[in-house]
Amino acid sequence: AEYSILTIMAYDRYVAICKPLHYGTLLGSRACASMAAAAWGTGLLYSLLHTANTFSLPLCQGNAINQFFCEIPQILKLSCSKSYLREVELIVVSVLVFFGCFVFIVVSYVQIFRAVLRMPSEQGRHKAFSTCLPHLAVLSLLVSSAFFSYLKPPSLSSPYLDLVVSFLYSVIPPTLNPVIYSMRNQELKDALWKLMTKCIWKAMNCPSLSIRDS
């Protein structure tokens, strides 16, 4: 569902920058509600299909996996039946859908960058790029960690590394989303700057205090 929403957000950026006069028509409240419902519905259906398939697999190597949650590749390693091929086929279909969304996002951003580079105003280009940067940051974090998790060579696979990578793509992106998307908020920037200045000032003054005390 999160990746579907990121795909929809790429389309939102494309319409806002490349077709601003048609934004209200193409992305009205009804269109946004429909796309959000489709994204969450797709995620729910995807989860139900995988859950039904994986729970129907007979396990012959115990039922304990070294993960934070029941990740599909780890469960398939415990299966001893050829029925796991159904789950593999479902994963292949999911990868194709994922790749299709990825191509759509890349094409959208190619059009966005072409439109931005044609803007005569430097301020307009800066504003357009700042609109896209939070989305690109979240997307890059999610895609890079997921690609590394599922496409890394077997020689790099280890229980500890699998735990770290699964934590990265399942916990870190949702946690950082509010922070990244709020970085355009001037009040948040001012608060972060004050906090960083205060921490740096304390760090610089702590050694002098310890020398005086000694």
Cα 96–102–105 angle (5° rounding)?
A: 145
User: What gap in Å lies between CA 142 and CA 5, rounded to an integer?
Assistant: 12
pLDDT of residue 180: 65
- Provide the pLDDT confidence category of residue 172 given band limits of 50, 70 and 90: confident
Cβ atoms of 124 and 26 within 8 Å: the answer is no
pLDDT of residue 36: 85
User: What gap in Å lies between CA 162 and CA 166, rounded to an integer?
Assistant: 6
Query: What is the average pLDDT across 37-57?
Result: 80
Query: What is the average pLDDT across 136-165?
Result: 74
pLDDT of residue 61: 67
- Provide the pLDDT confidence category of residue 81 given band limits of 50, 70 and 90: low
Identify which has the larger pLDDT, 168 or 20: 20
- Indicate whether this model's pTM tops 0.85: no
Q: Is the pLDDT of residue 35 over 60?
A: yes
pLDDT of residue 4: 83
The per-residue DSSP string of the chain comes to: -HHHHHHHHHHHHHHHHH-GGGHHHHT-HHHHHHHHHHHHHHHHHHHHHHHHHHHTS-BSS-S--SSSS--HHHHHHHB-STTHHHHHHHHHHHHHHHHHHHHHHHHHHHHHHHHHHT-S-HHHHHHHHHHHHHHHHHHHHHHHHHHHHHHS-GGG--HHHHHHHHHHHHTHHHHHHHHHHTTT-HHHHHHHHHHHHHHHHHHHHHHHHHHHH-
Dump pLDDT digits (tens) for 105-130. Answer: 999 999 998 988 888 888 888 888 87
